[in-house]
Amino acid sequence: MRCARGRWLLGLRVACSVGYPFHASLAATNAAPETEVHTSTGSLHGVPYRIDIPKHWNGDLVVLMHGYEPKGVPRQNPWPQNEETPVFLSRGYAVAASAFASQGWAVGDALDDSERLRELFIKENGKPHHAYVVGFSLGGLEALAALERHGPAYSGALSMCGVNVSAPDIVARGVVTPLVAFDTYFPGVLPDLASSASPAMIDPKQIQEALKRNPEKASLLQDRLQETGETLPGALMLDYMVLREIEQRAGGMPVDTTKTRYTEFADDPAFDSKVRRYKGVPVAMTYLADHVTLTGRIAAPVVLQRNALDQTVPGRFDTVYPALAAAAGNASKVTVLPLVGEGHCAFTHEQIGKAFDVLVEKSAQHGEH
């Protein structure tokens, strides 16, 4: 798990500075035009928010959802402008963004706080002609969930580099699987994943040193987990951090691996017998399912944009939401754009704008039917 660009993401690149927003070079190379903007900031139910309205407002709204914000990271006050906001302002759209009431796996807060902010926007500025929800990384999951939950409020959703998978699946397959796989091949390095006495963080240097001791097994993990030698130690460290935060929030191990078949390691006949199994805590499993399980039941278009090489949200998850929507009879409402760029959320402003333009076009076509 890593960070990239100017928003909080599911995962952080270890080299990232701690603060808001995270920076990378892509945005600077293709910045959106400057736009004269009216900005209002404040606190809604104790949660910081920001609303930006361009001088030549087209009457439409973008509700912008940031990604994973590590617990304990200091927040700026007033809430700063998201790095991607100018993309939408330059097109004439107002942008509303909530900080969310909590940090970490704040999916429930993201949905509630963004909905309150949308309602506040309407109270202060009138009902927009159209409203779109846009999310990056973990915010992509939240954007899809918002469209499913508050369908009539939105004309469509855009998930950029999104975690477009139900929470139980992404935590089980995208967080726990890498950790138990590493523990199987390099035992004794990681603490007990389910113990409340285990530390909140681990040192990636310990992981790196273990990997160096057995290059063959390290290469196997990199291949199966779609990582590189440079990204794997930090990814495992942050998988661990996210899991511990969710366990604290949910009340225990949120997934049950007692009967899991690890298809990524099917060519290792001993893997399933060696891997450590964890029994899920019912209340924690319920929490994770509630925050959130996707259904594919949508009333407006969805556009999904991914990077060509994304080690944070592996490509094996790309087909999950389109298949879910198809099973719900909504295959025609989901557009999967061609892959662009390399790295988690490594988009230029131009690429973000093009993806959003596709959503607006699909929404207009949908409205004609």
Provide the CATH number for the domain around residue 313. Answer: 3.40.50.1820
Is residue 203 assigned to a domain?
A: yes
Whether residue 87 sits in one domain with residue 146: yes
Whether residue 159 sits in one domain with residue 174: no
What's residue 11's pLDDT?
36
Is residue 119 assigned to a domain?
A: yes
Whether residue 347 sits in one domain with residue 281: no
β strands within the chain, DSSP E: 37-44, 47-54, 61-65, 94-98, 131-136, 156-160, 302-305, 334-336
Whether residue 245 sits in one domain with residue 345: no
Query: How deeply is 262 buried, as exposed, middle or buried, from its count of CB atoms within 10 A (0-12, 13-18, 19+)?
Result: middle
**Which pTM does this prediction carry?**
0.91
Whether residue 245 sits in one domain with residue 184: yes
Whether residue 192 sits in one domain with residue 119: no
Whether residue 228 sits in one domain with residue 214: yes
What's residue 31's pLDDT?
62
Is residue 299 assigned to a domain?
A: yes
Whether residue 145 sits in one domain with residue 66: yes
Domain stops at, among 289, 311, 346:
289
Is residue 89 assigned to a domain?
A: yes
What's residue 309's pLDDT?
85
Whether residue 106 sits in one domain with residue 195: no
Q: How many C-beta atoms surround the C-beta of residue 167 within 10 A?
A: 25
Is residue 21 assigned to a domain?
A: no
Considering its fold, how many domains does the chain have in total? 2
> Which residues of the chain carry a pLDDT beneath 70?
1-33, 368-369
Whether residue 173 sits in one domain with residue 123: no
Is residue 18 assigned to a domain?
A: no
User: Which residues, at least 6 apart from 351, have a Cβ–Cβ distance to it below 8 Å?
Assistant: 305, 340, 341
What's residue 1's pLDDT?
31
Is residue 90 assigned to a domain?
A: yes
Domain stops at, among 262, 289, 316:
289
Query: What domain range is 323 assigned to?
Result: 26-165+295-368
Q: How many C-beta atoms surround the C-beta of residue 340 within 10 A?
A: 16
Say how far apart CA 220 and CA 240 lie, in whole Å: 20
Is residue 19 assigned to a domain?
A: no
Whether residue 357 sits in one domain with residue 303: yes
Tell me the three state secondary structure of residue 94: strand
What's residue 18's pLDDT?
25
Whether residue 185 sits in one domain with residue 161: no
Domain stops at, among 223, 258, 289:
289
